[in-house]
Structure 1
Amino acid sequence: MNPSCARNLLNCTKRRSHLAASLQRASKGLASARTSTSLHTQNPGVAAHLQGPSFRRATQISLSRSPNHRFSTSARKMAPADLVEPPLPTPVNTAGDLVEAAKRAAGRKAVEDYLSHDYRYVGIGSGSTIKYVVEAIADLPREVTAKMKFVPTGSQSRELIREAKLTVLAIDDLVLEFNERVPGQQYLDVCFDGADEVDPELNCIKGGGACHYQEKLVAKFSKQFVCVADYRKEVPNLLTSWVGIPIEVQPLATEAVRRELLLLGSKKPFVRSGLPGKAGAIVTDNGNNVIDAPFPPLLLNSQVDQMDPSRGLWTVDALAQRIKSITGVLEVGVFSGLTGPQALQQGMGGEKPVKVYFGMQDGSVKTLG
C-alpha cells in the first residue's frame, strides 16, 4: 500500500473512532436524564434518535464537522412546541359520568311514565336533573309537544324550555288561561322537579338553587308532582347530609329571622352568599335573601313521639310549619304534607311528590311512592 493511501485509511479510522466515542458519550449522558432526545449531525451520513418514554424535557444534540474533519458537539433544550406528547386516555365511568347517566335515566323514565300525550300544562322545575326531563320531552314528536305549555319555576328552567323550542308560560299567566275557578287551584296536569334530599316518606328538601318559592307554587298548582333525582339524594332522614333548610326571607327581616331560628334549635343559621357570581348575599328571582338553617336530622312524621324541640329535634311537618309562621319568611324549602291527589280531596294544593325516581349507579331506576 502506498504511503498516501495508508495515511487516508488511518485518518478515516481515527474519524470513525472519534465519532463513535462522541455518540457513546452523548448516549450515556442522555440515558440518565428525563428527556426526549433527538441527535442530529450536519454529516448526512450520521444520524441517530434516542427517545425515552417517560422523559419530560427535551434536549437536542448537534454534531458538526469542521473543515479539518473534526467533530464538535453542542446541546440545547428543546422548546415545548418541539415536543409531541401522546394524548391522555379519556376517563371512562368516572363518578361524574355515573351521576349524569343516573340523572338522565331517571328523567327519561319519569317522562315516559307520567307525561300523557293528552296533557296541556306541564310544570318544569329547577336543578341539574331537570335538564334531562326537558331533553326527554323535546325528543317527543312535535305534534305532541306543540299543544303543551310549560311553566318554569325560575330563570334557569325558563331558559331550558326555550332552548328546547317548547312553549313557555309564566306562573302568573297560568291562572289567566282558565275562565273559572279550578278545584284546588290545580291548573297543571303534572310537574317535574328535582330535590336535594328525599326521605322514605317522600318528604323533600329543595332550594339549593334558591328557587323554592316558585317551586312550591308550581307544586301546589299541579295535580301531581313527580320528583326526579339521582341515588345520592335518597336519605333515611332529611338533613342527613344537606347543609340546612333553605328559607327565603325578606331582606329587612333577615337578621330577625336568623335569631328566631337559633331559638328553634338551629346550629348557626347563615345568610347564603352570592359568591362567586355576586358579592354579598344571594338575591332570589323575587328580590329576597336565603337563610340556610342547619338542624339535627329531621324525624319522619311517623316518629312524632320522639320530637323534642328543646333539643332541636323536630318532625318534618312540625318544623316546616313553625318556620313558615315566622314574620318575614316567604317560603320554606321543605316539601311535605299532602300529595296533589290527597290535597284535592280537601280543595287545596299539595306539595309532596306522588312518586320519586332515583337514577342508580348501575343504570337502573328506583322508585318510591
Structure 2
Amino acid sequence: MSPSTTKALFNCTKIGRTFGVVRPSIPAARNFATRRVQPGAVITQVPTRASLLSPSFISPLYHSSLCTSARTMAPTDNLVEPPVPTPVNTAGDLVEAAKRAAGRRAVEDYLSPEFRYVGIGSGSTIKYVVEAIADLPRDVTAKMKFVPTGSQSRALIREAKLTVLAIDDLVLEFNERVPGQQYLDVCFDGADEVDPELNCIKGGGACHYQEKLVAKFSKQFVCVADYRKEVPNLLTSWVGIPIEVQPLATEAVRRELLLLGSKKPFVRSGLPGKAGSIVTDNGNNVIDAPFPPLLLNSQADQMDPSKGLWTVDALASRIKAITGVLEVGVFSGHTGPEALQKGMGGEKPVKVYFGMKDGSVKTLG
C-alpha cells in the first residue's frame, strides 16, 4: 500500500472509538473486521466473510480516492447480508395471542345475531373483541348499536365502522321502563385482576365509572382477559383499588382510606404523558388504594378491618360510602341474571375468558 493511500485512509471517518478504522461507506464497512493500528503502521483489513471478500473484490478498495466518494467503491450489489430472523414467541407475542384468542372465543359464545345493543369496555384486550365483531357479516352487525365505556372504546368502534351509541342516549332508545335497567343485551369488558368468585378489579384505564354503568345496564357482563389476570385473591399483584373521586374531596378521601387500613393511598399521576394528576373523562381524580389481598366473600370469618383485612364486598361498600367517592373499581356482588331477579343492576361477570400461553382459552363461570 502506498504512503498516500495510508494517509488517505487515516483521514477517513472513524467508527466508534477505534483509531484508524476506515468508514468509506456503511455497506462496505459492515463486511470487514478492523483492528487498532498506530500512526505510521500499515492498515490491514481482515475479511469476515471469506466468500464475499476474495482478493479480486478487495483490491479495488485500495486506492487513494477511497474516502472521497462512495462512487469509487466496488459495487456492493453482492453484499446482501442474510436477513435477521424475526423473534417469535416473545412474552409480548404470547400475551397478545392470548388476548386475541379470549376475545374471539367470547364473541363466538355470547354475541347472538339477534342482539341489538352491545356494551364495549376498555383496555388492551377489548380491541380483539371489536376485531372479532367486525369480522362478522355486515348484515348482522349493521343492526346492532355499540355503547362504549370511554374514548378509547369509542374510537375502536368507529374504526371498525360499527354504530356508536353514547351511554346517555341509551335510555332514549326505549319507550318503556326496562326491568332492572338492563338495556344492553351483553357487554364485553376486560379486567385488571379476577378472583375465583369472579370478582374483578377494574380501573387501570381510569374509566371504571362508565364501565360499571355499562355492566349494570347489561343483561350479561362477559369479561375477557389473559392468563396474567387470574389471581387467588384481588390485590395479589395489582397495585391498589382504583377509586374515582371529586377533586375537592381528594385529600379527605385519601385520609379516610388510611383509616380503613390502606397502605399509602396515592393520587394517580398523569406522567409521562401529562403533568399533574390524571383526569378522568368525568373531570375527576383517581386514587389508587393499596390494601392487603382481599378475602373472598366466602372467607368472611377471617375479616379483620383493624388490620386492613376485608372481604371484597365489604371493602367495596365501605369505600363507596365515603363522601366524595364517585365509584370504586371493584366489580362484585351480583351477576346480571342474579340482579334481574332482585330488580337491580349487576356488575359481576357471568363468565370470564382467560387466553392462555398455549393458545387455549380457559373459562370461569
SS, match of residue 287 in structure 1: coil
SS, match of residue 326 in structure 2: strand
Among candidates 291, 297, 301, match of residue 293 of structure 2: 297
In structure 2, how many angstroms separate the alpha carbons of the residues matched to 1:332 and 1:151?
A: 21
SS, match of residue 99 in structure 1: helix
Q: How does 1:80-91 map to 2 (within 5 A)?
A: 86-91=82-87
AA paired with 1:331? E
The alpha carbon displacement at 1:287 in A equals 0.2
The alpha carbon displacement at 1:36 in A equals 3.7
The alpha carbon displacement at 1:51 in A equals 2.1
TM-score, with structure 1 as normaliser: 0.81
In structure 1, how many angstroms separate the alpha carbons of the residues matched to 2:144 and 2:97?
A: 27
SS, match of residue 363 in structure 1: coil
In structure 2, how many angstroms separate the alpha carbons of the residues matched to 1:60 and 1:350?
A: 80
The alpha carbon displacement at 1:277 in A equals 1.3
The alpha carbon displacement at 1:205 in A equals 0.1
| Structure 2 CA distance for partners of 1:176 and 1:311, relative to 1, 3 Å | same
Point out where structure 2 has 5 or more consecutive residues left out of the alignment: 3-19, 21-28, 35-43, 51-57
In structure 2, how many angstroms separate the alpha carbons of the residues matched to 1:219 and 1:362?
A: 30
Q: How does 1:55-204 map to 2 (within 5 A)?
A: 63=62, 86-204=82-200
Partner of 1:24: none
In structure 2, how many angstroms separate the alpha carbons of the residues matched to 1:38 and 1:269?
A: 57
1:148-192 deviation per Cα after TM superposition (whole angstroms, max 9, x unaligned): 000000000000000000000000000000001100000000000
Among candidates 287, 305, 308, match of residue 304 of structure 2: 308
| Structure 2 CA distance for partners of 1:264 and 1:89, relative to 1, 3 Å | same
Q: Answer whether contact 1:223 1:341 (CA < 8 A) is retained.
A: yes
TM-score, with structure 2 as normaliser: 0.82
Q: Does 1:238 align with 2:234?
A: yes
Among candidates 222, 225, 239, match of residue 226 of structure 1: 222
CA RMSD, aligned part only?
A: 2.9
SS, match of residue 106 in structure 2: helix
The alpha carbon displacement at 1:276 in A equals 1.3
Alignment: residue pair count: 320
In structure 1, how many angstroms separate the alpha carbons of the residues matched to 2:139 and 2:224?
A: 25
Q: Answer whether contact 2:33 2:48 (CA < 8 A) is retained.
A: no
The alpha carbon displacement at 1:141 in A equals 0.3
Higher deviation after alignment, 135-144 or 85-94 = 85-94
Partner of 1:8: none
In structure 1, how many angstroms separate the alpha carbons of the residues matched to 2:68 and 2:243?
A: 60
| Structure 2 CA distance for partners of 1:332 and 1:74, relative to 1, 3 Å | same
SS, match of residue 183 in structure 2: coil
Partner of 1:328: 324
Moved over 3 A (4+): 34-39, 59-64, 73-79, 81-87
Partner of 1:284: 280
SS, match of residue 222 in structure 2: strand
Among candidates 352, 356, 362, match of residue 356 of structure 1: 352
AA paired with 2:311? T
Among candidates 353, 360, 365, match of residue 361 of structure 2: 365
Q: Does 1:52 align with 2:48?
A: yes
| Structure 2 CA distance for partners of 1:159 and 1:63, relative to 1, 3 Å | closer
| Structure 2 CA distance for partners of 1:184 and 1:86, relative to 1, 3 Å | same
Partner of 2:212: 216
The alpha carbon displacement at 1:75 in A equals 8.4
AA paired with 1:148? M
Q: Does 1:37 align with 2:32?
A: yes
The alpha carbon displacement at 1:52 in A equals 1.2
| Structure 2 CA distance for partners of 1:170 and 1:49, relative to 1, 3 Å | same
Partner of 2:15: none
In structure 2, how many angstroms separate the alpha carbons of the residues matched to 1:78 and 1:314?
A: 74
SS, match of residue 123 in structure 1: strand
Partner of 1:264: 260
Q: Could you say which structure has the larger radius of gyration? A: 1
Point out where structure 1 has 5 or more consecutive residues left out of the alignment: 1-17, 20-29, 40-47, 65-72
| Structure 2 CA distance for partners of 1:182 and 1:35, relative to 1, 3 Å | closer
Higher deviation after alignment, 83-92 or 344-353 = 83-92
Q: Which has the higher strand share?
A: 1
| Structure 2 CA distance for partners of 1:51 and 1:269, relative to 1, 3 Å | same
AA paired with 2:129? V
In structure 2, how many angstroms separate the alpha carbons of the residues matched to 1:129 and 1:77?
A: 55
